[in-house]
Structure 1
């Protein structure tokens, strides 16, 4: 009997149906939460370093957390949207290797689920502004988290179930492996999991290679082959992702955030943070509170 356990769980932030116009035009949007869209009318665009995705009627979309993208509506766009946080004990996301906006055709069940989650979570829209920089603020996160705490158990479980159902639709698009593709080696997956759990510790490529019982150069080549990124760059990327989350959702000082994500001094943390995000930690936090 299978005993597969899903370690990931989700915390609802916003859900609503909105009518957008050409004022919905924002660049370099990056959030510590997921965005799910269902478009019922009109057209818009999502652009990122991976290309452009057209928002069109009858399709649903996902933008994983910490995915930098631009949002644009040339004229009119009607959308249902769901924003939510993902949590897991080991820090590994369901979409750890799919950090790109994705698009699939919505079926009748998908549409019903978008409507249902809105029905059982009233008052979770964004009334302040359409601009992410206006509503992505620590105080607002806490405000909506409190609504989750007040939610009755039935609605909470149904909300979790709906999010899982909608997420499963994007995970199933990966399909079976083609003959030209290969499963990620267990030693690479183990290294990925170890990095996520130990971001606050001293992590080096030499240490990861030793754990895998491989030569450092060989380990680095294999890691890059299956992830598309060098081990040290991956460590920095995940540390900065975690730092962005902490800067956005807590009042921790910059020194505390740096220590929590594994940097031994603030200048090094600030240097890597700016290299990854093009902003200093202070600029990033200020964008979220100003």
Structure 2
């Protein structure tokens, strides 16, 4: 009997039903978490590097983590939204090959799932000021894990199930292109896990190859074959993703984050951060704390 194990789980960040105004207008947004919207009134628009999608009633939309996009509302927009972090056993995102916004027609079950998610997770909306002087002092993302830990086992499992069901709506093979890879060799898979656990340590190609007793050139070719990236690029990408996560969930300074993510100095960290995100750490931090504030209940 063949058994399948889920490799991806999700941690709830926020869920709410809001009425947005024209103040909901942001460009070049990139976040370390997923967003799913269900639109039940009004109109808006999301654009990414590939296309522009109209936000219209009766549809679900997903913005995968680390997807660059623009958000706008010309007059008014009523939406359910949920924001959540992804964890995976192999460190590879479910949407690693699909960093694009997807849209599907909603069903009555989708609406029921959103309402149930709100019912079992009260007070998980974004009810903060859009004044930078306030949100810089009160980093609200730090609270999400404590709230998840306080859930009863039943509520936690039901929340997980609902998030899995909502995400599954976007895995239709007609538009979700999952690029199946060959089975990753044990040594490469173990190296991926080692990298994620040790982002703050020395991760030179020489070190990674020697710890699994492989020739440097052979290791580099194998690594690129199964991950699609050279070791240095893969490591820097994971370090910047970790830095984005720390910016959203901690009070660490940029210097502390650069150390925690393995960069030799703040200047190199800032340069690499901008290369991967298109903005400086300061610009990025400001945008992740302002998106979602400008709404009226």
SS of the counterpart of 1:171? coil
Once residues 277 and 175 of structure 1 are traced to their aligned partners in structure 2, the CA distance between those partners, rounded to angstroms, is 25
Once residues 2 and 137 of structure 1 are traced to their aligned partners in structure 2, the CA distance between those partners, rounded to angstroms, is 51
Matched ranges for 1:97-116 at <5 A: 97-116=97-116
The answer to whether the 8 Å contact 1:137/1:248 transfers is: no
Distance 1:153 1:221, change over 3 A: closer
1:186 corresponds to 2:155? no
Matched ranges for 1:96-135 at <5 A: 96-128=96-128
Unaligned runs of 5+ in 1: none
Residue of structure 2 equivalent to 1:143: 143
Distance 1:259 1:176, change over 3 A: closer
Unaligned runs of 5+ in 2: 291-297
103-112 or 128-137: bigger deviation: 128-137
Once the two structures are TM-superposed, the CA of residue 216 in structure 1 deviates from its matched residue by 7.4
The TM-score, its normalising length taken from structure 2, stands at 0.78
The TM-score, its normalising length taken from structure 1, stands at 0.80
Distance 1:277 1:139, change over 3 A: same
Residue of structure 2 equivalent to 1:23: 23
CA RMSD in angstroms comes to: 3.6
Once the two structures are TM-superposed, the CA of residue 289 in structure 1 deviates from its matched residue by 6.6
Greater RCO, CA 8 A, separation 6+: 2
Residue of structure 1 equivalent to 2:171: 171
Residue of structure 2 equivalent to 1:62: 62
58-67 or 5-14: bigger deviation: 5-14
Once residues 13 and 176 of structure 1 are traced to their aligned partners in structure 2, the CA distance between those partners, rounded to angstroms, is 24
Distance 1:130 1:270, change over 3 A: closer
Matched ranges for 1:1-290 at <5 A: 1-88=1-88, 90-128=90-128, 139-173=139-173, 183-187=180-184, 190=189, 195-203=195-203, 215=218, 222=225, 227=228, 232-285=232-285
Once residues 254 and 103 of structure 2 are traced to their aligned partners in structure 1, the CA distance between those partners, rounded to angstroms, is 36
- Total equivalences in the alignment: 284
SS of the counterpart of 1:18? strand
Once the two structures are TM-superposed, the CA of residue 144 in structure 1 deviates from its matched residue by 3.8
Once residues 48 and 132 of structure 1 are traced to their aligned partners in structure 2, the CA distance between those partners, rounded to angstroms, is 26
